[in-house]
Structure 1
Amino acid sequence: MIISERDAHILQKMTQHCDEIYETLQYFGATKEEFLGNSICHGAACMEFQLVGEGIKLLSRNILGNGPEVPWNRIQEMGDFIGTQYYNADFEKIWDRIHEDIPVLREYCANLLKENNYEIIRVSPIPRK
């Protein structure tokens, strides 16, 4: 599928935010227990998740209609929930969405970028202190 330059830019940013979610988990600890017990990790990962959800709102219908394996609505709804109801967030559900939905989304975005010869923006690992 041929994508527009605008969609490519959004996909690049979304891929970067997906990577930053995982970089956050690596930095603060990659286990569910470490995630659930660390409010700084919650905040950082949730902000990136929210940005992914906002990116979905900006994509063209062409992109959204050709990725049936991606749970677009569920990711967008979780991003919206984080943005408006963070204090009521269920971090176990967020953990599940990070591990079930974000990998599918990231792979889809990266594949579209590769097919259209766009660069995938890489996140440089932050050394753990």
Structure 2
Amino acid sequence: MSNRERNIDILERITGYCLEVKNTQSYFGNSFEVFSTNSIYRNAISLCLLQIGELSNHLSEEFKERYNEIPWRNIKGLRNIVAHQYESVNTRTLWETVTQDVPMLHQYCNGIIENYRVLEQDSIENDNEDEYEH
């Protein structure tokens, strides 16, 4: 698997966890009050954020430098806080991450994935055209 394919695979897994966050919000309701008082809701979201942070750490440095509109280091930092200092996580900050940052991350990653698929399809079509010309 090439570096590019590995990064795309990681992005697809990240977007899966972003969808899991969205589904969890739909299940429990998009309410800070419910989020702040329901530990099951917070724990489900926190696990997804932990996984997103872990996966982002496996993206290549070249990828993170090229697609630097996302604060990859902060995503990993949040993962570390959730994993090692869960009791100190600010519920309001976590909620803002869930409602603002995760949807943006999902959209951004989906855009990269779609661009990759278009380029991949163009490459396949060009290879097929080259075969016919010979």
- TM-score interval, smaller chain: 0.7 to 0.9
Q: Is the 8 A contact 1:57 1:76 kept in 2?
A: yes
Q: Which has the higher helix share?
A: 2
**Larger radius of gyration between Structure 1 and Structure 2:** 2
Partner of 2:57, secondary structure, is: helix
Aligned-pair distance for 1:16?
Answer: 0.3
Measured at CA, do residues 21 and 15 of structure 1 come closer, stay the same or move farther in structure 2, by a change above 3 Å?
same
**In the alignment, what sits opposite 1:64?**
64
**In the alignment, what sits opposite 2:31?**
31
Moved over 4 A (4+): none
| Per-residue deviation, residues 7-52 of structure 1 (Å, max 9, x unmatched) | 1110100000011011111101111111111100000000000000
| Per-residue deviation, residues 52-103 of structure 1 (Å, max 9, x unmatched) | 0001100012221122321222222111100111122211111111223212
**In the alignment, what sits opposite 1:44?**
44
TM-score, scaled relative to structure 2? 0.80
TM-score, scaled relative to structure 1? 0.83
**In the alignment, what sits opposite 2:5?**
5
Q: Which amino acid aligns with 2:16?
A: Q
Unaligned runs of 5+ in 2: 119-134
Q: How many residues align?
A: 116
Q: Which amino acid aligns with 1:72?
A: W
Q: Which amino acid aligns with 2:43?
A: G
Q: CA RMSD in A?
A: 1.5
**% same residue:** 28
Larger relative contact order, structure 1 or 2 (CA cutoff 8 Å, min sep 6) = 1
Unaligned runs of 5+ in 1: 119-129
